[in-house]
Amino acid sequence: MTDEVPLVHASLGESELAAVAEVFASGWPAGQGPQGKALEAELAQRYDMPGAVAVSNCGAALHLALLALGVKPGDEVIVADYTFPAPAHAVRYVGAEPIFADVRADTGTVDPQAVADLIGPRTVGLLAVDTVGLPADYAELQSLADRHGLFLVEDAACAVGATYRGREAGALAPVACLSFHGRKGATSGEGGAFLAADPALAAHVRLMSSFGIGSIFEQAKVVGLPIPVFTDIGYNYKLSDIAAAILRVQLGRTGELLQRRHHVAARYGELLADEELVTLPHVPADRTHAWQSYVVTLDPAVDRSAVAADLRAQGIGCGHGTWACHLQPVYETKQSCPVSADLFHRNLAIPMHAELTTNQVERVASALRRAVRDHARPRVA
């Protein structure tokens, strides 16, 4: 058996371990401590978003965002269809209805025209997604939101380090949500952040992320016996100071790690450019990709399952890409998003992370070439 080439791999090392050791020595490993506070300040500065709240994961950030924006049962929120279902789940968490918008065939990002066609009397907002690391069309989406009096939230879970028209993903809408899951460009294993241009909105989210009360760490500094008062129902969505310390190191390394991912993507592009059975990712000229994932689209004649089995038998990780949410049984929708459905059935994710070597990239590309040719139906003349 040859050495395996994993689909994903986190770039964590001695610097992150040293940061964790400092937290252990501090005596405060829980959430909303000094590391969390410092992380929030760094996020606010990096994204030029005055309100930044560190939370347990991006799904929590999305839930909190919809709560803070006042979404209620009976409301409709338009969500990008081709993505991990977290945005639609968050809409359901608050009792509202997710309305699925189809995506662009070339980028997999939400199609602004599809969004425009879905806006109705119950629509209160739009939830866009930076699909597998590529920002959506925010100029058009913000224009739609402004014209119809809707909120716009950016799900930048996959896109730390990506840009759109010179601005970094995470700062492309008035409210944004980040993920620091193990396969992201900056990671603490799990983790997330809520970002807002409005500091008051972030202050509300910070309270809701901690059972509806302020930081216990800060209150412990007050002389006397401060007793928190619960005035609202909140959630336990805090990010531990252990994770916050790791993230402070990781955010400082995003440039280095993103450069490595860009190198991998460029090499895949060179090696697979002339493969007729594979369509490579498209990155419009006005944006850059974070390359959380490298997803190719297989020709309809190719048996994707057979290709995946072939690659995995050689120790090469692969996956289906992401989901066409409207096809998932949990939503029980009769909506049709044909482009998203097509990508869901034909896309294939191949290894993409900052630890890939040149030899591994070449091995993956060569194996993919052989596999798609071996598992393609003959073309009819």
- Looking at 252, 274, 305, the residue that finishes a domain is 252
Determine, yes or no, domain membership for 309.
yes
Q: What is the pLDDT of residue 380?
A: 60
CATH code, domain with 242: 3.40.640.10
Determine, yes or no, domain membership for 5.
no
- Note whether 41 and 125 are same-domain residues: yes
Strands, E, within 114-199: which ranges?
123-129, 151-155, 163-164, 167-168, 175-179, 192-196
- Note whether 75 and 141 are same-domain residues: yes
Q: What is the DSSP letter of 230?
A: -
Domain enclosing residue 47, as ranges: 14-252
Distance CA 40, CA 182 (A): 20
Render pLDDT for 26-55 as a digit per residue (tens, 0 to 9): 999 999 999 999 999 999 999 999 999 999
Render each residue's pLDDT in the chain as its tens digit; 381 residues: 458 999 999 999 999 999 999 999 999 999 999 999 999 999 999 999 999 999 999 999 999 999 999 999 999 999 999 999 999 999 999 999 999 999 999 999 999 999 999 999 999 999 999 999 999 999 999 999 999 999 999 999 999 999 999 999 999 999 999 999 999 999 999 999 999 999 999 999 999 999 999 888 887 777 788 888 898 899 999 999 999 999 999 999 999 999 999 999 999 999 999 999 999 999 999 999 999 999 999 999 999 999 999 999 999 999 999 999 999 999 999 999 999 999 999 999 999 999 999 999 999 999 999 999 999 998 765
| Phi, psi (rounded to 5 degrees) for 3 | -60, 140
Q: What is the pLDDT of residue 381?
A: 56
CATH code, domain with 307: 3.90.1150.10
Determine, yes or no, domain membership for 6.
no
CA angle 313, 318, 323 (to 5 degrees): 140
Q: Give how far Cα 97 sits from Cα of 60, 147, 148, 293, 334, Å.
A: 18, 21, 18, 29, 13
Q: What is the pLDDT of residue 214?
A: 83
- Which tokens go with 83? 């993505």
Tell me the three state secondary structure of residue 207: helix
Q: DSSP assignment of 240-309, as one string?
A: BHHHHHHHHHHHHTHHHHHHHHHHHHHHHHHHHTT-TTEEPP---TTEE---S-EEEEE-TTB-HHHHHH
- Note whether 74 and 137 are same-domain residues: yes
- Looking at 252, 276, 303, the residue that finishes a domain is 252
Q: How many CB atoms lie within 10 A of CB 143?
A: 14
- Note whether 227 and 102 are same-domain residues: yes
Q: DSSP assignment of 22-86, as one string?
A: HHHHHT--SBSSHHHHHHHHHHHHHHT-SEEEEES-HHHHHHHHHHHTT--TT-EEEEESBS-SH
- Note whether 228 and 277 are same-domain residues: no
Q: What is the DSSP letter of 176?
A: E
Q: What is the pLDDT of residue 378?
A: 86
- Note whether 22 and 81 are same-domain residues: yes
Q: What is the pLDDT of residue 256?
A: 97
Determine, yes or no, domain membership for 2.
no
- Note whether 198 and 342 are same-domain residues: no
Q: What is the pLDDT of residue 2?
A: 59
Render pLDDT for 95-154 as a digit per residue (tens, 0 to 9): 999 999 999 999 999 999 999 999 999 999 999 999 999 999 999 999 999 999 999 999
- Note whether 166 and 101 are same-domain residues: yes
Q: What is the pLDDT of residue 49?
A: 97
Q: What is the pLDDT of residue 333?
A: 95
Determine, yes or no, domain membership for 130.
yes
Determine, yes or no, domain membership for 18.
yes
- Note whether 134 and 278 are same-domain residues: no
Determine, yes or no, domain membership for 352.
yes
- Note whether 247 and 261 are same-domain residues: no
pTM: 0.96
Please name every residue paired with 102 in a beta bridge, in sequence order, or none if there are none. Answer: none
Number of domains present in the structure of the chain: 2
* 106 touches 131 (CB < 8 A): no
